[in-house]
């Protein structure tokens, strides 16, 4: 990560006054097949985004500790969900997505590595119907909200989560927030992308362009009980919306630490940078500390 490039990006985002308009969603630009192809290029849990997956899997594990049934709103091909499910075998997970093709990929991946505690469901996460008879006590959603078409859909999605888990359930949502400058998007896309860019880099760019603003994300979070909203320091590039942390079992904490230690040096540095920028933004109780 270039210190000079980072400084210029911070200056653009902190001092910039205008907000670029929201772009089309990845589904609109790339289609389902295009998104799946992009994930095959760079979206594996041990690939160049490994740091992000592990960081959020650890954070999710702290928030949902002790839950019985956890629904993942917009699980896609299941990369994040499968890592979380492996770490939390006592919890039953429900992976929900509107695209059967993505769920088929997720189910195949779960069967290949032997993860039994996930059930896959086709549904619209803005108005889900398959969960009406399920007693869900935790909800997660990772890198999904920017795929919703409108701010109305965004509010409908978080309202559905609130109705599902009531006032005592656990919630962990993470997504991008819209950057002010296209040049800042160029900076983030170029951090770990190969030259020439692959399909995952294109997906990354689409996702950043389609992100909602921090203000919009804060607004929809108000329908959820016991929520705090956290962003990365100075530049709200990433947003976490979550309920209070719970007690993480020592054995699981040790496993998370071991997974960090096993990361290649570059990915480990990426993880530690993510930890630092969220900590400086006020997100405490680092599970890797």
* pTM > 0.95: yes or no: yes
For the residues 111-138, what does the mean pLDDT come to? 96
Are the C-beta atoms of residues 238 and 177 closer than 8 Å to each other? yes
Among 224, 249, 231, 218, CA closest to 170: 224
CB atoms closer than 10 angstroms to residue 75: 29
Tens of pLDDT along 206-246? 999 999 999 999 999 999 999 999 999 999 999 999 999 99
CATH topology for 3-13+22-280 is Rossmann fold (3.40.50)
For the residues 113-138, what does the mean pLDDT come to? 96
- Full DSSP string of 202-256: HHHHHHHHHPPPHHHHHHHHTTSTT-EEEE-SSS--EEEEE----PPPHHHHHHH
For the chain, give every domain's residue range. 3-13+22-280
């Amino acid at each position: 990560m270039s210190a000079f490039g980072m400084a210029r990006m911070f200056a653009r985002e902190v001092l910039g006054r205008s907000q670029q308009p929201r772009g089309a969603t990845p589904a609109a630009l790339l289609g389902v097949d295009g998104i799946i192809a992009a994930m095959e290029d760079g979206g594996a849990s041990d690939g160049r985004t490994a740091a992000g997956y592990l960081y959020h899997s650890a954070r999710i594990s702290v928030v949902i500790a002790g839950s019985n049934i956890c629904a993942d709103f917009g699980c896609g091909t299941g990369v994040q969900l499968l890592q979380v499910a492996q770490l939390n075998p006592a919890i039953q997970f429900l992976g929900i997505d509107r695209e059967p093709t993505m769920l088929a990929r997720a189910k195949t991946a779960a069967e290949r590595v032997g993860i039994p505690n996930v059930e896959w469901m086709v549904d619209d996460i803005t108005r889900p119907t398959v969960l009406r008879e399920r007693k869900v006590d935790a909800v997660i959603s990772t890198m999904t909200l920017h795929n919703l078409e409108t701010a109305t859909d965004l509010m409908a999605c978080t309202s559905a989560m609130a109705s599902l888990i009531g006032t005592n359930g656990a919630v962990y949502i993470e997504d991008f927030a819209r950057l002010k400058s296209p040049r800042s998007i160029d900076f983030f896309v170029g951090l770990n992308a190969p030259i020439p860019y692959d399909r995952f880099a294109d997906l990354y760019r689409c996702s950043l362009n389609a992100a909602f603003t921090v203000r919009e994300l804060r607004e929809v979070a108000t329908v959820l009980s016991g929520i705090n909203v956290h962003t990365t320091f100075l530049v709200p590039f990433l947003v976490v919306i979550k309920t209070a942390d719970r007690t993480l079992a020592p054995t699981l904490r040790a496993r998370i630490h071991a997974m960090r230690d096993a990361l290649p040096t570059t990915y480990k540095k990426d993880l530690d940078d993510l930890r630092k920028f969220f900590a400086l933004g006020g997100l405490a109780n680092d599970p890797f500390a």
